[in-house]
Amino acid sequence: MATQDWQLKSIFDHFVCDVCGKENTPDWLLDEVYRTQRIRRLNDLLRRGQADQATILLTAGVQAAGDDFATSAVKAMSEFDDFSEDNDPHHEHDFGAFEIGQEKLFFKIDYFDPALERHSDDAADPNVTHRVLTIMLASEY
């Protein structure tokens, strides 16, 4: 309950109507709003360093700027909250742009399968998704 990571113990493949007694099969609908909120929550946890099955990459340009710059970049990325329709049209908090001094940086989160061989089948499911967060100089994009 603390992590709000809920899972069904079982899935009902059929049911009986309480009114007419007729057996039927449920029509499962994908709740896109819930799915988007879950992806956003998982991405926010990753940006704050609280994610399983995740990797954070710093590009060569960020690394070449030195340890202090890299540390500042990670801190700025984790504190970023300026999401809008312009930079977050899908409301997943998977991209952001920020500045450190005169340098503009981006972060981007991509979703892969656990073996990092292809895209994830479902970015909302942390059991089948390995998130990769990349922090880069804007000039490296």
Q: How far is CA 74 from CA 62, 69, 77, 78, in A?
A: 10, 9, 5, 6
Residue 98 has pLDDT above 80, yes or no: yes
> Residues 6 or more apart from 80 whose CB is under 8 A from it?
47, 96, 98, 107
* 32-84: pLDDT as tens digits: 888 999 999 999 999 999 988 999 999 999 999 999 999 999 999 999 999 99
Query: Among candidates 137, 130, 128, which has minimal Cα distance to 109?
Result: 130
pLDDT of residue 27: 65
Query: Among candidates 9, 49, 32, which has minimal Cα distance to 122?
Result: 32
Q: Centre a 10 Å sphere on the Cβ of residue 99 and count the other Cβ atoms it contains.
A: 10
pLDDT of residue 6: 60
Neighbouring-strand partners of residue 109 = 133
Model confidence, pTM: 0.78
